């Protein structure tokens, strides 16, 4: 099943009471990419999403009840132990998260796992654009969004916050405006969504 078909399958399986649909859209986007990556790399959904079978079942019961059993089956074995960097990112997200913990935790776990991928974070979450990532952070990680008042790229910002919490900095300059790498942290995050085929058809 292609990522766009997987996304549609999840949305069609979503619960009638799944809020205004944004959370279902975000999670369906993340899972569609994670499922595609698991197939490409011959690994498990637990490995690419960070969520084990129990966590996937719980998330599906909340947002995609019609897909709960297949998602749990795709999880495979337990999720691999996260790297120190991934675990620190997850803990940071949980520390600054708000709202229902039953949704917050899987979001934090999946975002931290997808932070390990090579593209802009909004792309690695399967979102339409960076604006959707901003909405996600405002909704579920409000205090972290407020701290990112200069609108640094999210992967850079999360990494910087993790470094600061552990008492060191990898930044080559004490002030961002004086740094030779300014553009890499604050430059444009334009690009094509990794689920662009879906969004073109829905436009």
How far, in Å, CA of 18 to CA of 98, rounded?
18
Mean pLDDT value across residues 184-194? 55
**What confidence tens digit (pLDDT) does each residue in 22-59 have?**
999 999 999 999 999 999 999 999 999 999 999 999 99
**What confidence tens digit (pLDDT) does each residue in 68-93 have?**
999 988 988 778 899 999 999 999 99
**What confidence tens digit (pLDDT) does each residue in 94-135 have?**
999 999 999 999 999 999 999 999 889 999 999 999 999 999
Number of other CB atoms surrounding residue 17 within 10 Å: 8
**What confidence tens digit (pLDDT) does each residue in 126-170 have?**
999 999 999 999 999 999 999 999 888 899 899 888 887 765 555
Domains of the chain, by residue range, sit at: 3-202
Please check the confidence at residue 174 and state whether its pLDDT lies above 80.
no
Confidence of residue 179 (pLDDT cuts 50, 70, 90): very low
How far, in Å, CA of 50 to CA of 97, rounded?
18
Please check the confidence at residue 200 and state whether its pLDDT lies above 50.
no
Report pLDDT for 177: 47
Confidence of residue 193 (pLDDT cuts 50, 70, 90): low
């Amino acid at each position: 099943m292609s990522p766009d078909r997987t996304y549609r399958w999840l949305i069609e399986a979503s619960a009638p009471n799944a809020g205004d649909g944004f959370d279902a859209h975000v999670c369906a986007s993340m899972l569609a990419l994670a499922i595609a990556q698991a197939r490409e790399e011959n690994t498990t959904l637990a490995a690419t999403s960070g969520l084990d079978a129990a966590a996937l079942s719980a998330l599906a019961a909340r947002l995609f009840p019609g897909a709960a059993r297949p998602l749990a089956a795709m999880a495979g074995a337990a999720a691999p132990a996260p790297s120190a960097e991934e675990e620190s990112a997850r803990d940071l997200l949980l520390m600054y998260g708000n709202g229902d913990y039953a949704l917050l935790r899987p979001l934090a776990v999946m975002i931290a796992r997808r932070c390990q991928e090579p593209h802009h974070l909004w792309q690695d979450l399967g979102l339409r654009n960076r604006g959707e990532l901003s909405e996600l952070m405002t909704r579920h990680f409000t205090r972290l969004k407020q701290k990112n008042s200069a609108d640094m790229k999210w992967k850079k910002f999360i990494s910087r916050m993790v470094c600061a919490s552990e008492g060191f900095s990898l930044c080559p300059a004490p002030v961002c405006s004086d740094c030779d790498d300014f553009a890499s942290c604050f430059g444009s995050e334009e690009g094509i969504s990794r689920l662009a085929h879906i969004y073109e058809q829905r436009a």
